[in-house]
A and B are shown apart, each in its own frame.
Chain A
Amino acid sequence: MSISRTIISREEKIFNIVNILIMLLILTLTIYPFLNVLAISFNESSDTVKGGITIFPRKFTIENYKVIFTYNNLVSGFINSVLRTIVGTLTSLIACSMVAYTLGRKHYIFRKQVSLFLVITMYVSGGLIPFFLLVRDLHLMNSFLVYILPGMVGAFNIIIIRSFMENLPEELYESAYIDGANEFTVFLKIIIPLSTPVLATIALFVAVGQWNNWFDTYLFNGSDPSLTTLMFELMKVLQSTQRAGADAVRTASQQLKVSQVSPESVKMAITIVTIVPILLVYPFLQKYFVSGMTIGAVKG
């Protein structure tokens, strides 16, 4: 007994050391792009052109950020982005988890048909124009609802949640039925609390998708400044600076200080501006899938 213990612990020790080394390597590799973008975003763009910036700015400046914040509509864009992210994520989570639950019930008779009905949508699309015309005909153009409704029920998310729920022990249901609970109560009181890791994961996917999506704004709400999102406005900033770059050269010979920043630098600053909110919110979700959930605790 005691011999086998020591063997395990030696094996574990080696494993842990190797593991930490591998993780450090991954850490270095994956933090580089972010640090590089961060460094360039704080570097003078006339210096950035020369290349060779790695993880520290060579000539520090906040000019690149200043340029972004001279644009209109950023505040309302931010509010709309936050709103669509919160509403979109909550509604989508409710929808997906409810559908997933029904599909996860082994005795549900339409289980297979509904799964198929959903999964097909992942591979079949009528194309942009029919979708665009549909949204127009539903009078969802220039409305907030276009951020919420079309993407609310995601087949992929449903299938993932379902496969987690299916994996929960069957006894959970049995004991609940004996207590006289109906399906909805089981769903709400037992399955949802046990599914937090997958729900947190899907929430993250949906929230990031909502936060980063500028395409639906561009398609449907671009002409209404009260509905545009942050990501859309930042795309506008980027496009404008790129355009200005071309203009700047035309007037460069007049020795005017047209613009102190290049589109490249603005692009980096925009990247940081969009990542930071995600980074700030992330830890709240992370705790649900980094530290283990104990089914035993709930069961017992």
Chain B
Amino acid sequence: MLEKKSLKTGNIKNQSTQIVLSAMALPFLILVLVFNYIPIWGWITAFQSYRLGHSFLDQEWVGLKWFIELSKDQRFFNALINTLGMSFMQLVVNFTFPIIFAILLNELRFLPFKKIVQTVSYLPHFVSWVVVAGMVYMMTSTDGGLLNNILVLLGFEPVQFMANPDYFWFIVTISDLWKEMGWNAIIFLAAITSIDPQIYEAAKVDGAGKFRQIVHVTLPGISHVIVVLLILSIGNIISIGFEKQFLLGNSIVLERSEVIDLYALGAGINQGRFSYGTAIGMFKSLVSLILLFSANNIFKKSTDQSVF
């Protein structure tokens, strides 16, 4: 029946096109359904007092207990503020420096040099945070650390960088930039490479200098990637991970360093508080989705670019 109807209204080509397209995607969507959607039944445990190894039907129901507990936990709110603060700083930095770096790298004319810089710049991505945090501590040490040596050389007093809670978010952001800039730039570099060289030629003919070429050709040429990444990242602002904050932190900056993911880890499997951990996970998902939809709509209206 359906076929006949569309035969009348649409054209055959369009219908077969729809079928081919659906067939191309469907097998993979089933995988997503199985591996990403089925496990969401786990959310039920947020309303239970879940005990390991018993079926989820065989658990005590506690209603909203965990969510109420969460809303009363001062430490959780502190972790939330830290997460959002650091995430926001990271967002700003990750959408400026890697883009600028990719653009500048693309402008290098000497190909071997370009390749070397690019390869080297992403190397720190593979060095674990344990090691990088150790290096950050070495450099900021008042006991012969590089940074303080430079400060003293310039006639300043040495600074205990790691002992000041006010510096902590900056230290995390800068360390992250150091470690991930080159890696984050790869995607922008790929985007720049996809820009049609003819457009540059046209701009040159119009007398555009380097700077104008970047502003009028390169940036618009990669704006679709930037917007999509930005929307996805805004949705992820609450999931910052915990490794770098944990490893760069110490007992003095504890109040500024604890993030939700670390808090959730402590509250989850390791304390046997699975239900509470799940409640935190649900809260995070909810916040993420709200942010995602908002960002998506804002960009859809203002730039006509969006994820969905």
The reply to whether A and B meet directly (CB within 8 Å) is yes
* Interface positions of A (Cβ within 8 A of B): 4, 7-8, 11-12, 15-16, 19-20, 22-23, 26-27, 29-34, 36-37, 51, 95, 98-99, 101-103, 105, 107-110, 112, 114-131, 134, 138, 149-150, 152-153, 155-156, 159-160, 163-164, 166-167, 182-184, 187, 197-198, 200-201, 204, 208, 212, 267-268, 271, 274-275, 278-279, 282-283, 286, 288-296
Is B168 part of the contact surface with A, judged by Cβ < 8 Å? no
Contacts of B224 in A (CB 8 A): 163, 166-167
Pair B194/A197 contact, Cβ less than 8 Å: yes
- In the complex, per-residue mask of B195-230: 1 if CB is within 8 Å of any chain A CB, else 0: 111100000000101110000000000001100110
Among A7, A32, A33, A283: residue with most chain B CB under 10 A: A33
Contacts of A20 in B (CB 8 A): 108, 113
Contacts of A114 in B (CB 8 A): 25, 29
Select which of A8, A29, A51, A197 is within 8 A of B209 by beta carbon.
Answer: A8
Q: What separation, in Å, do the CA atoms of A108 and B229 have in the docked complex?
A: 23
Is B75 part of the contact surface with A, judged by Cβ < 8 Å? no
Contacts of B113 in A (CB 8 A): 20, 23
Q: What separation, in Å, do the CA atoms of A289 and B45 have in the docked complex?
A: 46
Given contacts A126-B41, A153-B31, contact A183 B21 (CB under 8 A): yes
Q: What separation, in Å, do the CA atoms of A27 and B123 have in the docked complex?
A: 10
Select which of B29, B37, B135, B308 is within 8 A of A36 by beta carbon.
Answer: B135
Q: What separation, in Å, do the CA atoms of A286 and B189 have in the docked complex?
A: 10
Pair B228/A160 contact, Cβ less than 8 Å: yes
23 A-B pairs within 8 Å (CB atoms) are namely: A8-B207, A20-B108, A32-B135, A37-B131, A98-B25, A103-B25, A121-B36, A126-B43, A127-B274, A129-B269, A130-B40, A130-B42, A134-B34, A134-B38, A149-B31, A153-B29, A153-B31, A164-B190, A197-B193, A198-B190, A275-B127, A290-B115, A296-B197
- In the complex, per-residue mask of B175-204: 1 if CB is within 8 Å of any chain A CB, else 0: 000110110001101110111111000000
In the assembled complex, the CB of A23 is this many whole angstroms from the nearest CB of chain B, namely: 5
Contacts of B268 in A (CB 8 A): 127
Q: What separation, in Å, do the CA atoms of A184 and B23 have in the docked complex?
A: 10
Pair B39/A126 contact, Cβ less than 8 Å: yes
Tell me the chain B residues, 1-37 only, with Cβ under 8 Å from chain A.
14, 16-18, 20-22, 24-25, 28-29, 31-32, 34-37
Q: What separation, in Å, do the CA atoms of A120 and B33 have in the docked complex?
A: 11
Contacts of A12 in B (CB 8 A): 209-210
* Interface positions of B (Cβ within 8 A of A): 14, 16-18, 20-22, 24-25, 28-29, 31-32, 34-43, 45, 52, 101, 104-105, 107-109, 111, 113-124, 126-128, 130-132, 135, 138, 178-179, 181-182, 186-187, 189-191, 193-198, 207, 209-211, 224-225, 228-229, 232, 235-236, 239, 268-269, 274, 277-278, 281, 285, 288-289, 292, 307-308
In the assembled complex, the CB of A289 is this many whole angstroms from the nearest CB of chain B, namely: 4
Given contacts A123-B285, A134-B38, A296-B198, contact A16 B127 (CB under 8 A): no
Contacts of A293 in B (CB 8 A): 193-194
Among B109, B123, B277: residue with most chain A CB under 10 A: B123
Given contacts A30-B121, A197-B190, contact A160 B131 (CB under 8 A): no
Pair A267/B131 contact, Cβ less than 8 Å: yes
Given contacts A184-B24, A290-B114, contact A134 B209 (CB under 8 A): no
Q: What separation, in Å, do the CA atoms of A184 and B20 have in the docked complex?
A: 7
Contacts of A167 in B (CB 8 A): 194, 224
Given contacts A123-B289, A183-B17, A197-B190, contact A33 B39 (CB under 8 A): no
In the complex formed, the residue of A with least CB distance to B119 is A282
In the assembled complex, the CB of A97 is this many whole angstroms from the nearest CB of chain B, namely: 10
Pair A204/B21 contact, Cβ less than 8 Å: no
Select which of B36, B40, B123, B195 is within 8 A of A275 by beta carbon.
Answer: B123
Select which of B42, B127, B130, B308 is within 8 A of A115 by beta carbon.
Answer: B308
Contacts of B229 in A (CB 8 A): 160
